[in-house]
Amino acid sequence: MKKIAIVYWSGTGNTEAMAKAIYEGAKEVGAVALFEVDAFAGEKAADYAGFIFGCPAMGDEVLEEGSFEPFFADIEDKLTGVPVALFGSYGWGGGAWMQTWQERVKNAGGKLFAEGLIAENSPSAEVLEACRALGRDFVKGL
């Protein structure tokens, strides 16, 4: 059975809630592990058949710069041919950080799974259900 990793960073808990909902959906249909970004080392990448990454928009519509951006910059070159899904929350700006992030995955050769799933501020019940569906669909699509 192929195993996926959900790796996220959350400052307010919004992206964490999304990560947990994605995990719930994914574990219904396959093998999945959930990691806060600081608990996942890039050398573990080869152990997983796909990744679901989560990070909120920060500052001027960028990934969180203390932990997540360095992690993602390190793992980018390991994404060639690997299925990747993205998610996160934002409080302003409308999602420009997600578009930039998706382009980075594509430029790294990652196989982007759908469009990034975003939530404005705290995820609604509808968004959390979309997160569960993302987890299920991603695992089924491997």
Predicted confidence band at 136 (pLDDT cuts at 50, 70, 90)?
A: very high
Kindly state the DSSP code that residue 37 receives in the 8-state scheme: G
Q: How far is CA 100 from CA 19, 62, 87, 107, 114, in A?
A: 20, 8, 13, 11, 15
- Whether 93 shows a pLDDT value over 90: the answer reads no
Q: What pairs with residue 85 in β-bridges?
A: 52
Predicted confidence band at 71 (pLDDT cuts at 50, 70, 90)?
A: very high
Residue 140 vs residue 2, higher pLDDT? 140
Predicted confidence band at 62 (pLDDT cuts at 50, 70, 90)?
A: very high
pTM: 0.96
Predicted confidence band at 59 (pLDDT cuts at 50, 70, 90)?
A: confident
What value does the mean pLDDT of the chain take? 95
Gap between the Cα atoms of 124 and 18, Å rounded:
10
Query: What does the domain layout of the chain look like in residue ranges?
Result: 3-140
Predicted confidence band at 140 (pLDDT cuts at 50, 70, 90)?
A: very high
For 3-140, CATH number out of 3.40.50.360, 3.40.30.10, 3.40.630.30, 3.30.930.10 equals 3.40.50.360
- Whether 113 shows a pLDDT value over 90: the answer reads yes
